[in-house]
Structure 1
């Protein structure tokens, strides 16, 4: 895909109306606030705007770093599975849909086991299915586009990408397995499938995913009346931008390093053997939970007397 088309898709996927989580999930922010972590130590005075901003920055920084360490390795692994499936189908038709689904299920099950609280699991699966629905209903080329008199729309869309029809089939089959309860359909897995189908590069996919997570936190802070819209934009420009750059760069070694078995995930016919030393090295830089406090507070979300967000 050329740079112009990729940039345009980047804008479409950044639309705040898409299911990115800021309307239904706060990623633990609401529980964090309700448990008093945004209040002064004596709990007697009203927090000032500067203190709320500093508290928000601290929360966003910890949340982004924790989510990056958790999600980005899975997006990389899913990306490689889908690229191999897409390209092999184009070359000689030898790629196995069932094998790819089994590999995706294995990764999805691993993400399920590494997501430590039921609130995060609920939000992740809900948003994952929403993105697969977005792919099938919002980005697939409509049948009427080829009618005479309409503008040329050949540049973008799932079916115009290399192997896009096969990726659409993979996404549809995955949705069927999710409805049956065979696969959970977590957000990083579904996001990886959607971005491969649309033709985004892995680097763009990861960066955009982290930006949407950070933006959802800022949007949630506005709904919780922690920040105003202008202060939120200041954070996005001056704080979150360099934060995302640093976080995504620091997680790059995780590419293709998921539990030391990326080659077996990516290629159905792979017979490569991974040594114990290689597994140890890869596990050291693999998926991790880096913020236990945030995980605990997110778990307590449902215990609040009243709440704005479902997750």
Structure 2
């Protein structure tokens, strides 16, 4: 009986030694995480403000340990929450771009199709009218893919080009302005672009600078974006952000100078020739500016393109609700449906390699609907 008892004691001692080594490993890992967290914590700014998390209670999650191995369930501050934070902000329907004021041709489409149906019905005899099955004269399901395809073919190449080459912002804005033949669509694009520029200047750029992302500090955003980068690569990211900040600032100055000189995004109704000196250097179109702002906020090209197209889809659905075409539950059903989930990636893939020189209208009738919106007898949208 002595030998088995001795073997049991040796096994127990071995297990205890394994457990001690595991606890020491976890303690060492916890110390490393604590040191990393201390390096990440931003210092108070010059005004003496303190982070909002100061004074909050700290919860320590236990670590589940198995025989010979540990399963760490502790919260990791480097989870990808911050990576998606600006993605969610840009995709928010409450982002004050002013898109709710425009229907992108939806209201005009409904009225023109309805008028065409009335004209067609009036040309038929009573017997023909009774034999013709009644059905809705317009269909949102028909308009939605047309509008999305049109929007992708005309603007998405400019979004991607600006995201890939932010220095071309003013050049791309000018090219898009020249390629936009519909006055109503141009006015809507410029209005939303100016709104996005205002959001950037008043709400976004200050937060990036305060967090140390642009200035090269140790803010949370900078740490999240540079956690997997070497020191040299991290410096490159900071330099790129500084360049983008300067590009947008210069772009904003050009826009203000054109506004102060009396130029306007609304074309003149007179027939006089506009001298080249009076042509505004930039018009603040939404598409190229969205690409540059998304790049500055850390969004990838695929994310930027998808959010841009999803925002247009949500704007169309919102316009349909306010026009009384359907209710909010049907709207969410459309946005969550398989058609939208399949159509948006397909459009992004279609325009992924399209150069801006080849960007053009894929559905000319959409331009007609948008352009004729102003002649409607009564209308809800601008």
Q: TM-score when scaled to structure 1?
A: 0.73
How far apart in 2 are the matches of 1:168 and 1:226? 42
Q: Kindly indicate whether the alpha-carbon contact (under 8 Å) linking 2:320 and 2:326 is maintained by their aligned counterparts in 1.
A: yes
CA shift in 2, pair 1:292/1:217, >3 Å = same
Aligned to 2:159: 75
Q: 1:244 aligned to 2:344?
A: yes
Aligned to 1:290: 362
2:311 to 212, 215, 221: 212
Structure 1 residue 188: Cα displacement: 0.5
Aligned to 1:123: 188
Structure 1 residue 291: Cα displacement: 0.9
Q: 1:164 aligned to 2:241?
A: yes
Aligned to 1:234: 333
The one-character-per-residue Cα deviations of 1:95-152 (angstroms, maximum 9, x if unpaired) are: xxxxx3xx33322222112111110000001101111111121212448779xxxxx9
Aligned to 2:374: 302
Structure 1 residue 20: Cα displacement: 4.1
The one-character-per-residue Cα deviations of 1:56-102 (angstroms, maximum 9, x if unpaired) are: 011110010011011111112111222xxxxxxxxxxxxxxxxx3xx
CA shift in 2, pair 1:21/1:291, >3 Å = farther
Q: Kindly indicate whether the alpha-carbon contact (under 8 Å) linking 1:108 and 1:183 is maintained by their aligned counterparts in 2.
A: yes
SS of the equivalent of 2:184 reads helix
Q: Kindly indicate whether the alpha-carbon contact (under 8 Å) linking 2:169 and 2:289 is maintained by their aligned counterparts in 1.
A: no
Q: How many residues are treated as equivalent by the alignment?
A: 254
CA RMSD across the alignment: 3.2
SS of the equivalent of 1:23 reads helix
Aligned to 2:47: none
Q: 1:62 aligned to 2:62?
A: no
Larger RCO of the pair (alpha carbons < 8 Å, separation 6+): 1
2:113 to 36, 43, 62: 36
Structure 1 residue 219: Cα displacement: 0.4
How far apart in 1 are the matches of 2:140 and 2:222? 37
How far apart in 2 are the matches of 1:153 and 1:221? 42
SS of the equivalent of 2:377 reads coil
Q: TM-score when scaled to structure 2?
A: 0.60
CA shift in 2, pair 1:244/1:304, >3 Å = same
Within 5 A, what are the aligned runs for 1:95-174?
A: 100=167, 103-142=168-207, 154-155=220-221, 162=238, 163-174=240-251
SS of the equivalent of 1:62 reads helix
Aligned to 1:258: 356
How far apart in 2 are the matches of 1:23 and 1:156? 33
Aligned to 1:24: 101
How far apart in 2 are the matches of 1:191 and 1:36? 33
Q: Which has the larger radius of gyration?
A: 2
Aligned to 2:276: none
Structure 1 residue 193: Cα displacement: 1.5
Q: Kindly indicate whether the alpha-carbon contact (under 8 Å) linking 1:70 and 1:289 is maintained by their aligned counterparts in 2.
A: yes
